[in-house]
Amino acid sequence: MSKIKYFFEQSWLLIATSFVFGLLLAATDAALAPRIAFNERQKLTTLMSSLLPDAEEFTIAISEAQIAAGKGKMAVTDVYVGVDSQGRTLGYAFIGLGAGFQDKIRLVIAMDASGEKFLGYRVLASNETPNFGSKIKEDYFRGQFVDAPAETLELVKTGDVERIDSQIVAISGATVSSQAVLNIFNSYTRGITQQLRSEGLISDGR
């Protein structure tokens, strides 16, 4: 009995403060969690809106689509559809994740309604070399993806930046980051278009 008494004598403060802190944490979490979730959604929605400017709202077209992302890993991502005020589909958007130079790169990629062209991408999160890899956020590189065909893209060192086709000119001094962006596009495109076709959202005829 005295052992238990000793135990409580020594640790009552610990137990009491753990309880109080637990309550404090639970309260803060409950108060702030909705706002945090809202921030997450807001970030995604803002980027999707900049890719599909006429879209009034974005809803999930395919939730948790499984994409074979290479190296035997399966990536899971939601495919969003942007509809305008008349309910017409303007395009699809999804988050693509891949390994970059320093850390992972997270992109929001948009496709047009027919699933045949890309409408471009926005960088959701990246940690690339400043002034080199970070140029994937700039229009020199990004612009080459707008209206690019939704097929396997190829990285080239030199070429015509203005011409829109499946060849993308790399950022000089940031080949790895440029290739990383292309890898994300290439690994997600086939899987996403396949899923969209099987859901009947885009036509099968090519």
123: left (phi over 0), alpha (psi -120 to 50) or beta: beta
39/166 with CB nearer other proteins: 39
Q: Which residues are registered as beta bridge partners of 155?
A: 168
Say whether residue 29 binds other proteins (CB under 8 A): yes
Site for other proteins in 162-191 (CB under 8 A): 176, 180
When binding is defined by CB under 8 A, the residue of 7, 21, 147, 149 that contacts other proteins is 21
CA distance 154 to 79: 24
Q: Which of 100, 60, 96 minimizes the C-alpha distance to 77? A: 96
Alpha-carbon distance of 97 to 105, in angstroms, equals: 6
Q: For other proteins, which stretch binds (CB under 8 A), given 36-44, 49-57, 110-118, 140-148?
A: 36-44
Q: Which stretch binds other proteins (CB under 8 A): 56-64, 65-73, 80-88, 163-171?
A: 65-73
Radius of gyration of the chain (CA): 23
- Size of residue set near other proteins by CB under 8 A: 36
Q: Is 99 in the site for other proteins (CB under 8 A)?
A: yes
Closest CA to 124 of 36, 41, 44: 44
Residues 95 and 79 sit within 8 Å (Cβ to Cβ): no
If one asks whether residue 18 binds other proteins (CB under 8 A), the answer comes out as yes
Residue 100 found at the interface with other proteins (CB under 8 A): yes
Site of interaction with other proteins (CB under 8 A): 10-11, 13-14, 17-18, 21-22, 24-26, 28-29, 32, 35-36, 39-40, 43, 71-73, 98-104, 125, 129-132, 176, 180
